[in-house]
Structures are given as C-alpha cells and as structure tokens.
Amino acid sequence: DPTNGEILALANYPTFDPNHYSQYPGANRRNWVLADQYEPGSTFKIITAAAALEEGIVRR
C-alpha cells in the first residue's frame, strides 16, 4: 500500500511444505522476495526518475 508502506501481499516460488522442510534443497526454503535485492529494471527507471523530479531531488 503506497499510502502507508504496508505489505498487502507477498508471493514466493518455488514453495515448500514447512512440515517437511528437510526434504527440500536450501534454495527452495529461501525467501527470494526478502533475501535478495535487485536494482530496478529498465522499465522501472522512468518511475524512479519521475519521483525524483516530483520530490525536487534532481532538476531537469
């Protein structure tokens, strides 16, 4: 929710059964959404630039 920063949904794949976690490789038990950080892709750069302009962080 952009108004207050709350996370409304979170999805992760591949899934695993936490009752039998030892049967899955470590990569399957990793929460990729929270554990890894990626730079914004090219499609998101325009949004970042627009927000910076709007907030007065950068000038044209």
How many angstroms separate the CA atoms of 13 and 19, rounded? 17
Residues designated as active site: 42
Helix (H, G, I), strand (E, B) or coil at 17: coil
> If phi over 0 gives left and psi between -120 and 50 gives alpha, with beta otherwise, what is residue 31?
beta
